[in-house]
Amino acid sequence: MKPSWNWFPWAGFGITLVAILSYFQFFNRFPATRDIPWVTYLLFVPAVILLVAGVKRAFLQPQRFRGKISGPILSTLSLTLIGLFGYIVLGLSRDLPSPDSALRVGQRAPEFTLPNASGKPVALADILRQNRAALLIFYRGYW
C-alpha cells in the first residue's frame, strides 16, 4: 500500500501563515485586536494541533502516511514563526515610547526642525513667526 499524503502539517503551516499575515494586514488596525492579538492566538491553536497531529501520523503510521521529513520541517518553521511573532508583537512593543510623555492638547510643543515634503528644513519657530499657532498631528505607526 502506497502511503497517502499527510496534509495535517501543511494545513498547520498554512494556518500559521494566515494568522501572522492577517494580524499585520488587518487585525492591527483595531485596538481590540492590536493591543492583545487574541484572534491570532486563537488561530495558532488549531495550527499547532494540526502540526502535532501531522508529525504523530507520520512517525506512528509511516506505512499509511508520508511526511517524516516535511512534518518536522514545517513544524519547526511554524513554531519559529510563532515565536518570532510573539517577540515582535509582545517584546518589541515594550520599547515604544510611553503615552505619558506625549504632548497634551493645548500644551506647547518643544522646538524642532523637520524636513518638509520637498526636503527643505522647516522649524516650528519659523511657522509660529508667520502664524499665531500651529496644528501638529501625530500618527501612530510602526515605521
Same domain, 88 and 107: no
What is the per-residue pLDDT for 81? Answer: 97
Residue 74 burial by Cβ neighbours in a 10 Å radius (0-12, 13-18, 19+): buried
Classify residue 85: in a domain, yes or no: yes
Same domain, 58 and 105: no
pTM above 0.75, yes or no: no
Rounded-to-integer distance, Cα 83 and Cα 34, Å: 17
Range of the domain at 61: 8-95
Classify residue 116: in a domain, yes or no: yes
Q: What is the pLDDT along the chain (143 residues), one digit of tens a residue?
A: 788 888 999 999 999 999 999 999 999 888 888 888 999 999 999 999 999 999 999 898 888 888 889 999 999 999 999 999 999 888 887 777 777 777 788 888 889 998 888 889 999 999 999 998 888 877 666 54
Same domain, 112 and 62: no
Same domain, 66 and 126: no
The candidate with the shortest Cα–Cα distance to 71, out of 84, 85, 56, 83, is 56
Indicate the number of domains in the chain. 2
Beta strands per DSSP E along 1-143: 113-115, 121-123
Same domain, 63 and 107: no
Same domain, 47 and 114: no
Classify residue 2: in a domain, yes or no: no
Classify residue 36: in a domain, yes or no: yes
Same domain, 89 and 106: no
Grid coordinates representing 25? 494586514
